[in-house]
Structure 1
Amino acid sequence: MPDAARIVVFGDLIDDIVVVPQHAIRPDTDTAASIRHRAGGSAANAAAWMASLGASVDFVGMVGAGDAAGHAAQLPGVRTHISEHPELPTGTIVVLVDGDSRTMLTDTGANAAMTADLVTDELLDAARAVHFTGYSLFGSPHRAESVASLIERATERGVVVSIDPGSVGFITDFGIDEFLDAIAGATVLFPNLEEGRLLTGLGDPLAIVLSLAQRFEIVALTLDAGGVIVARRGGPVEQVPAAPVEIVDPTGAGDAFAAGFLTAWLASGDLAVAAHLGVQTGALAVRTVGGRPRPAAG
């Protein structure tokens, strides 16, 4: 029997290098900066936040040879299923932080070789939900086919499928219609405003949510300082304000929101409760460098 709260998270696992310049970057010379190495990856970040909120979580990912144990250790409370690629290195992202914005320079590494086929039927049989990001689609055609198959396998079992679109740049390269076709049948979509505008061609947040709700049962559109708008297909729209917070690093805020929302919704079935926990968890994420929960003091 499936665990009423167990979530399978599939996708990117990354070594983040987070760079926060102390002032404007000066070309061709030195710029003083804070540089921190953190474990990251949108899917892995979400899994970490889910576990920190008390959810039962399985994470499926891929790293370079010799790196699985180290990354598993950085996902406390998560049951990990991390494969090692014999040739490709662990993915790396250099994150340049500038106030509440960031620029990411990405080498996907071993993530490019993994597909949704790594999520076994055995894992789905024990799950209530499966969550992944758009990063799991981009690359070879087989990756999109495996995601479509995963959605079909999950749906057959009554397993909720939630998706964070992940990247405006990569969606544009992949193709908007192709992306929407590949994730057809998913239950919950977590776009930010920029992603929502790209996927619908609309500008108004409410119009974006209502448009996407024609395709997905639940849509939660995050608006940064504007909070979140949540709609259920054919149902009422909820708007929850953002929590006031001083932003240290916005990395992982969307991952934390999705984690809080999905964890609360599976437990309560209440979209307003889910949105509030999502907003609160996202606020925690931006208070620290990196995209994961702050380690417990030991």
Structure 2
Amino acid sequence: MTGAARRALGEFDTTRPNIARINDYFLGGKDNFAADRRAAEELLAIAPEIRAIAAESRNFLGRAVRFLAAQGIRQYLDIGSGLPTLQNTHEVARSVLPDARVVYVDNDPVVISHGRAVLACDERTAVVEGDILHPQELVDDREVRGVIDFDEPVAILIFGALHVIPNADDPYKSVATLRDATAPGSHLALSHLVFDIRPEVAGAIEDIYRTALHRPQANTARNREDVLGFFDGFELVDPGLVWLRQWRPDHPLHARAAETVWKVGGVGRKVCDRARQARGAGAGSR
């Protein structure tokens, strides 16, 4: 474990697994504890392909952020960012737009401490404590606004946080709040585990996530149609909401056996309010 991670511990309970650190283990990182490794191995015993899903999620992040930067998006709000690893958002975006600005958001103290240590000298990034369930706090946060101008297009990135948020917490409303706070031309990019083709593992995987979330009654399983609801108010860019390997692969061969990585991803562009109102009026007249 890194020094930054050790300094973050304080009174933190390392005997409970944490989603960000479980994912760090899947990616071969060192910022995880015994409880995280046990939970990760339990998940792998249920579905060994989860390690590949974690790797493909990072690959999807890279492709999506490069696409957004190519559209001229210079501002990124990366929610549930997890621990720094390969292909971090600011690195990918700046490979296309050197002046890109990024705010990383997470609620894990190890993530916060490590991220701030790594990015301490970078004035065009910030690492703030928060989560998708408190979107207005993120929009109003002084540190966030020191990096991001919400009067200009922003890319909202949610690569992995939503599939552990139960329906009872209404994550759809949280995403809509962020959508409404952003300027025309803003985008939403997200990825989400779905159980359309592996319904038999959903219950066991949910049990492990419930333990990590300390929510014994939480229901987090969704299918592709459920995930589409997060894009309300956004127009999906081609190829839509698809298996991660199918989303603008770097080479056609990379999309082979796409369904074996049962996580979907997509990017949507915010629809201007006037266009949304016109569509709504048209739907009501039919």
TM-score normalised to the size of structure 2? 0.37
TM-score normalised to the size of structure 1? 0.36
Higher strand share: 1
